[in-house]
Chain A
């Protein structure tokens, strides 16, 4: 079974520039998550999709971050414009809707550095 794919793996941009990350979840996983993990902190959920609908985006800074999952499969997360404090690892994860434990499967992450 193929895992969660993310690209790019690394990205360096200057502040005020834009950046986009892509995620392809495990086939058949209806739920997709984007996390932000800043060095020294636990992962912070930015947005959760169920198919192509948003379940939770309460911690997404909507003035600069946006995400979509138009066909209920792959997803993109965009930051526009980036700030220095956006430097972090952006993790995508997916899980089955059914099943009691909602175990999440993670991609390798995108390490973003904003200079």
Chain B
């Protein structure tokens, strides 16, 4: 059974704090790792799709790293703002045939207090 775990489950930080969360996934049959941000009442939005071991991606104040050998990815937010409040989901994309169904974590719910 393929399992994707995210930690922490929820996080409360003050505006200006930097924070990070973890996504753990199977280290075998890796194809890609996706990060999504889901704000309440909005569509989940793709942040990053990571495919190579050692990959680092950045979008504004948000960045992510990938370690496929040990099966984890970190998402970092520098100088958190209230608009960063959302659920951050990661999804593991196994290399299994043409379907490559995403396997989702439960998400990390981030609340940034002004």
Contact = CB atoms under 8 A, between A and B. Distances in A.
B43 A4 contact: yes
Contacts of A103: 34, 46, 49
Contact of B107 (A42, A45, A100): A42
B102 A45 contact: yes
A42 B105 contact: yes
A109 B38 CA distance: 11
Contacts of B93: 101-102
A90 interface: no
Q: Is the interface of A mostly helix, strand, loop or mixed?
A: loop
Q: Is the interface of B mostly helix, strand, loop or mixed?
A: loop
A67 interface: no
Contact of B44 (A45, A91, A102): A91
Contact of A106 (B43, B100, B106): B43
Interface residues of A, number: 23
Contact of B43 (A3, A40, A102): A3
Given A55-B99, A101-B51, A102-B32, A108 B105 contact: no
Contacts of B89: 42-43
Contacts of B107: 42
B42 interface: yes
B46 A105 contact: yes
Contacts of A55: 99
Residue in A91, A100, A102 with the greatest tally of chain B CB atoms within 10 Å: A102
Contact of B101 (A56, A101, A105): A56
Contacts of A4: 43
A111 to B, nearest CB: 9
Interface of A: 3-4, 40-45, 48, 55-56, 91, 93, 100-109
Interface of B: 4, 32, 34, 36, 41-46, 49, 51, 89, 93, 99-102, 104-107
Given A42-B4, A102-B102, A107-B43, 12 more contacts: A4-B43, A42-B89, A42-B104, A42-B107, A43-B44, A91-B44, A101-B51, A103-B34, A104-B34, A104-B46, A106-B44, A109-B43
